[in-house]
Structure 1
Amino acid sequence: MSKLTHLDEQGHAHMVDVSEKAVTTREARAYAEILMLPETLEMIVSGGHKKGDVLAVARIAGIQAAKRTSDLIPLCHPLMLTKVSVELVPDVEKSAICISTLCRLSGQTGVEMEALTAASVAALTLYDMCKAVDKGMVISEVKLIEKKGGKSGHWKIEG
């Protein structure tokens, strides 16, 4: 197991120096889902929410969140993302919205936190916009699905 890179020899938190790392194409995919009442899902899918297009707002929120990750997560490097996508897919059987994100760049550090932040904030935005009609929504399954690039190479979740 590797040592934690955000701690120095004395155990103090610090930002990792990536200046000696090679610039490579790096990509990360993340996932989250938000479970809700069937009536809430129907309202979102049909466009019947009085606040407007809930899925469009959540998509924009996820993209913005990826771009602002270094402002939210201590010790994250500010990154020049070249691609951020947020896909929101209704799942009637689960009574959920499944959120898949992708972040990409050419740089010296990975984009896992950006992809995870995009998925999380998209889910939080859905919750915020629909909490007046469904306070029991549950955000779950927030996870990294895949990462590519950098020294550690390609990793994909099992299963």
Structure 2
Amino acid sequence: MRNLKLVIWSIFALYWQIFIAPKFTISGIQPDFLIPYVIFINLKFDYNFTLPITFILGISLDLLHPATLGLHTISLLLISFFVHNFHQPINKKRLIVVFLAIFILNLSHYFIFFLFQFISSSLTSGLPLSYFYWLIYNSLLSFITVYFLLLIDKLKITIDA
């Protein structure tokens, strides 16, 4: 039942990223809601099941952006690996530590895209600054989204018959 729940939530997260996330675009910076979702599922579910889900989410997003085919998949799989292997030592009670961990995960994601942009074309003068804004905006949004997903996961809904 938990695995079915994960698949349904993953479809919803992909739908949210494709259709709803563009509405939250600020100055051309679109939020990436799949990063906090991948963080969340790796905190709550078995790694052997979340890895294929993360791969499918990444490849689905890559198919929408053919110019960067494979980058989302690699990035989300790396985030999944980092969260699975390093989330235990983090002191989860201190918000600043959790925010810094999420910031580092976002930094690894955007470093891959920045490196791709650097290799594929010459950098324009405003590009590093836009990546910095992208990183800050998505780190804040990821932090809020991860805590929101953890809160939703703790809610128990019962139906009285």
Structure-1-length-normalised TM-score = 0.30
Normalized per residue, the structure richer in helix is 2
Structure showing greater relative contact order (alpha-carbon pairs closer than 8 Å, 6 or more residues apart): 1
Normalized per residue, the structure richer in strand is 1
Which is higher, the Rg of structure 1 or of structure 2? 1
